[in-house]
Amino acid sequence: MTKGRIACTAVAAALLSGLAITVPATSVHAAPAVMAAPSIRQAHGLDCEATALQIALAARGVAASQDWVIGQVGADLRRAAVAGGGVTQWGDPYVTFVGDINAAEKDFTGYGVYAPPIARASQIAGVPAAAHLRWSPAAAYAAVQRGYPVIAWVQVGLATGGTRTWTAWDGRQVPYVVAEHAVTLVGVDTDAGQVLIADPHTGTTYWTPMPRFEASWLTLQNMAVAVGIPGSVGLSPSPDGKGYLIATSAGTVSTFGDATSHGDTAAQHLNGPVLGIERTTDFTGYWLVADDGGIFSFGDAAFYGSTGAQHLNAPVVGMAATAGSKGYWLVAADGGVFSFGDAAFYGSTGAMHLNAPMVALQATPSGHGYWLIAADGGVFCFGDAAFYGSTGAMHLNAPVVGMSLAPGGSGYRLVAGDGGIFSFGQAPFYGSRGDNPPPSDVVQIATTPDNGGYWMLGSDGHVDAFGDAAFFGNG
């Protein structure tokens, strides 16, 4: 008799006699998820972000040079205002590269660029991308496991601490570190607790413990770009509140509940990422708007013009339609307002000094006015838009990203990127995520038709429902 049969017989005998036996457990380890991504060293002193995108695009099968990425991002070459050993005022890295790409961070002659322009460059290269702030490590690792490279903003050598703040020329408060750096996550080993980093500074790829990476990533608020995954940018409720549409930066439109799709730009090449969706009054059509002011019309939504062929001083950040859907307004980050169709011009902040850039535009129900909303929660009223309050004088834990109206324009709510809600006028408060931030930054708030609740949309498609707002699924 073989040893195997002896063992089997012994087990059988033990079972028949009622004896308890212990079978040694076998552990199953998940294989590390690793992408085929090149190791590339940055060609310029400060183009780590461009190189990180070059690596990420290569992992997705798209070739792009560092200089091409730099050309898409642009640069603000104005000199920094320096005092007390730090920067007090400089450019806005959320909009463009700040300083000289061949200079030095320690001398405050060159710095870098943050997630939104890098995500936009990826989109122009034909690969959808989502810019995230306050993104959870678990979500980032999950993206990598699915084969999507993630560009993360850390410090050189994965150092930690030393975060300061400067005021951008456009008023935005910009967190910065002298050793700001971007790397590309191209692999993850959850069992070993390690992440695989392609580092433009050294031109090498290496494994590092997750806690070490996460500590450095936290320095710049867990900022990242997921390459290959379109970010969610807009949620539009059905007229009865029993469903909603979710649009992404790639121009795809998904339906939930009883919402109906009328088309999207999934098969088109976009010159810039889509930033929002706006429904027609009868809910049988909608517009998608891109950050270059390009307008895409579906259903009964008519095209009245765009800024897609114009040179803009700042990217478009919002859109609103007139009461009869015969026109619309666009607003740029500098507060410039562009009117099309029967949309009348009631004023703008384009010539004003702003404490923070604009992030949204909301039309009044009559169509005879609009509100402009700034990242600090400042609210600017034009035409018949009434002022009910703002957060312009408050200290916010995260910038304001959007507004939703109470029915009849009798009040409004502002939502911050961390899910904080600020209610004014006849806009009741039904809850927020301010004390328990969602896994990715919030990008929009939408009110239910009866004003009894609202939805919050995250850049990763996560939907939170409050009050009588029903949950129909995540994007």
Domain boundaries, the chain: 37-227, 232-467
Q: Which fold has domain 37-227?
A: Cathepsin B; Chain A (3.90.70)
Q: Tokens for 318, please give them.
A: 């919002």
User: What number of other Cβ atoms are within 10 A of residue 467's Cβ?
Assistant: 17
Do the two domains 37-227 and 232-467 of this chain adopt the same fold?
no
Q: How far apart are the first and last CA of the chain?
A: 61
Per-position pLDDT tens, the chain of length 475: 333 433 333 333 433 344 444 444 445 567 899 999 999 999 999 999 999 999 999 999 999 999 999 999 999 999 999 999 999 999 999 999 999 999 999 999 999 999 999 999 998 998 999 999 999 999 999 999 999 999 999 999 999 999 999 999 988 999 999 999 999 999 999 999 999 999 999 999 999 999 999 999 999 999 999 999 999 999 999 999 999 999 999 999 999 999 999 999 988 888 888 999 999 999 999 999 999 999 999 999 999 999 988 888 888 999 999 999 999 999 999 999 999 999 999 999 977 888 899 999 999 999 999 999 999 999 999 999 999 999 988 888 889 999 999 989 999 999 999 999 999 999 999 999 978 888 888 999 999 999 999 999 999 999 999 999 999 999 8
Looking up tokens 């169509």 gives 367
Evaluated on CA atoms 258, 264, 267, 272, the torsion sign reads: negative
Instruction: Fold for 232-467, please state it.
Output: Methylamine Dehydrogenase; Chain H (2.130.10)
DSSP string, 364-407: -TTSSEEEEEETTS-EEEEETPPP---STTS--SS-EEEEEEPG
Q: Decide: pTM greater than 0.75.
A: yes
DSSP letters for 119-150: HHHHHHTT--EEEESS--HHHHHHHHHTT--E
Could you list the beta-strand ranges (E) of 43-83: 75-76, 81-83
